[in-house]
């Protein structure tokens, strides 16, 4: 990448750590690794803050909410952001959530001249109302993580000239020398300590063969927050029951937790598939460690932007089955299978095809792996550097992909 001397302050005040927060971290670390000046600001005691303290992430600031807010406009967070801005002196404030965007707009009122440029990240395909339309039009640039989101913004009245599509970035998995813990393996293996630091193990087998096997079963899996707001594990469970897989032929692994977990576990028992389904709870290690256990990745969603875990599954060369919502079709680009949302029967039929046809699985895996180069961290960081340079009026400072 070419030289870029400006300072970027990333902002996210969400209490949880999900796809947007993961992308913030990947971008922040990627900029630092490339020698750029990058800082991040989060809410104190948020999951991002807790992980940052635990892992020792560099250049992280945190602020507290004052408790009073009007919608997205939180004066306490805004004053905190203005204070950090005086210290860091960023050329660009990059807000990675809708809430952070509202706070950034309010905070800019308290900032002196010259005021930093504002970049707002949009990661969901939801329609926006008049307030959000005003907010995005007030930004200097809006980054959409897929074309589907860019089209939604344009239809909602956001200035198309401000919108740039930048696909997500995912780091390729690292490795250690021996096999890591899997559902069929007891913890405490020689590499457990290394794996928990974020590494993914490899014993020399291909990505599709190093996974948990129970009596030579094929393993399907999904990684999701179990909260019924975006992901649809219920349809996947109903599809599994409709496909009527032999208990000795296939296993379904669900990585994730949330308020809907108890209901989903009860549904699995009601459908008579509880012996074939494992609910792992929160997965504290790198998602590649979970994906490495699978033969097939499934993403059953009600809505989606650009899924981090779908891109990660493609990097692993896994055959992918997803619901046709949001940016899923765009991310897959014809390399995987799409089914209508909430259509358990259609999903069951496609799952059966995947499980019954190893050549088909292998073909889709090869296609997915090839397309996954679109989601490299280097390309992601380079595209963002180019965006930053453009809004600062430095069109000659472009990043190389």
What is the CATH code of the structural domain delimited by 192-373? 3.40.50.2000
Both structure tokens of 348 = 């069951």
Whether residue 204 is predicted with pLDDT greater than 60 in this model: the reply is no
Whether residue 398 is predicted with pLDDT greater than 90 in this model: the reply is no
365: phi then psi, degrees, rounded to nearest 5: -65, -40
Listed by start position, the domains of the chain span 7-169+376-391, 192-373
Position 126 scores a pLDDT of: 87
Question: Do the two domains 7-169+376-391 and 192-373 of this chain adopt the same fold?
Answer: yes
Position 246 scores a pLDDT of: 79
Position 75 scores a pLDDT of: 86
Q: How confident is the model at residue 233 (pLDDT cuts 50, 70, 90)?
A: very high
More confident residue, 214 or 194: 214
Whether residue 198 is predicted with pLDDT greater than 60 in this model: the reply is no
Whether residue 243 is predicted with pLDDT greater than 50 in this model: the reply is yes
Query: Residues 6 or more apart from 391 whose CB is under 8 A from it?
Result: 92, 117, 119, 140, 141
Q: What is the CA radius of gyration of the chain?
A: 22
Instruction: Say how far apart CA 358 and CA 72 lie, in whole Å.
Output: 49
Is the peptide bond prior to 114 cis by the omega test (within 30 degrees of 0)?
A: yes
Which neighbouring-strand residues pair with 141?
119
Sign of the alpha-carbon torsion through 172, 141, 307, 364: negative
pLDDT tens digits, one per residue of 50-86: 999 999 999 999 999 876 555 567 888 999 999 999 9
Whether residue 184 is predicted with pLDDT greater than 50 in this model: the reply is no
Both structure tokens of 224 = 């999701």
Superfamily of domain covering 7-169+376-391: Glycogen Phosphorylase B; (3.40.50.2000)
Instruction: Say how far apart CA 348 and CA 245 lie, in whole Å.
Output: 10
pLDDT tens digits, one per residue of 319-360: 999 999 999 999 999 999 999 999 999 999 999 999 999 999
Instruction: Say how far apart CA 92 and CA 322 lie, in whole Å.
Output: 36
Q: How confident is the model at residue 174 (pLDDT cuts 50, 70, 90)?
A: low
Q: What percent of the chain has pLDDT over 90?
A: 75
Of 314, 360, 347, 350, the closest CA to residue 333 belongs to 314
More confident residue, 295 or 214: 295
Lowest pLDDT segment from 21-35, 99-113, 204-218, 334-348: 204-218
For residue 147, CA distances in Å to 21, 128, 272 come to 20, 16, 40
């Amino acid at each position: 990448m070419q030289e870029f001397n400006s300072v970027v302050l990333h902002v996210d005040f969400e209490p949880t750590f999900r796809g947007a927060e993961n992308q913030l971290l990947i971008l922040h670390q990627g900029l630092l690794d490339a020698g750029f000046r990058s800082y991040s600001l989060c809410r104190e005691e948020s999951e991002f803050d807790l992980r940052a303290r635990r892992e020792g992430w560099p250049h992280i600031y945190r602020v507290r909410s004052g408790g009073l807010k009007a919608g997205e406009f939180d004066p306490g967070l805004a004053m905190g952001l203005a204070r950090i801005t005086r210290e860091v002196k960023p050329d660009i404030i990059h807000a990675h959530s809708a809430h952070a965007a509202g706070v950034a707009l309010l905070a800019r009122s308290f900032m002196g001249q010259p005021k930093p440029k504002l970049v707002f990240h949009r990661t969901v395909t939801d329609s926006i109302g008049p307030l959000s339309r005003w907010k995005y039009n007030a930004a200097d640039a809006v980054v959409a993580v897929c074309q589907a989101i860019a089209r939604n913004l344009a239809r909602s009245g956001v200035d198309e000239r401000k919108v740039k599509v930048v696909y997500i970035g995912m780091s390729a998995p690292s490795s250690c020398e021996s096999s890591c813990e899997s559902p069929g393996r007891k913890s405490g293996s020689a590499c457990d300590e290394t794996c928990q630091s974020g590494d993914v193990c490899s014993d020399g087998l291909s990505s599709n063969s190093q996974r948990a096997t129970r009596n030579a079963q094929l393993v399907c899996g999904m990684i999701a927050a179990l909260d019924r707001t975006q992901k649809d594990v219920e349809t996947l469970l109903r599809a599994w029951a409709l496909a009527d897989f032999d208990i000795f032929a296939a296993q379904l692994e669900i990585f994730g937790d949330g308020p809907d977990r108890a209901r989903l576990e009860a549904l699995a028992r009601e459908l008579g598939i509880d012996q074939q389904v494992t609910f792992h709870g929160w997965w504290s290690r790198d998602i590649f460690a979970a994906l490495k256990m699978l033969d097939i990745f499934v993403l059953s969603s009600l809505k989606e932007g650009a899924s981090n875990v779908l891109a990660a599954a493609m990097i692993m060369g896994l055959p992918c089955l997803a619901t046709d919502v949001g940016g899923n079709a765009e991310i897959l680009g014809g390399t995987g299978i799409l089914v209508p949302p909430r259509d358990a029967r259609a999903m069951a039929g496609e799952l059966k095809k995947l499980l019954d046809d190893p050549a088909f699985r292998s073909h889709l895996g090869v296609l997915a792996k090839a397309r996954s180069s679109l989601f490299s961290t280097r390309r992601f960081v380079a595209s963002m550097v180019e965006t930053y340079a453009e809004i600062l009026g430095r069109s000659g400072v472009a990043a190389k992909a």
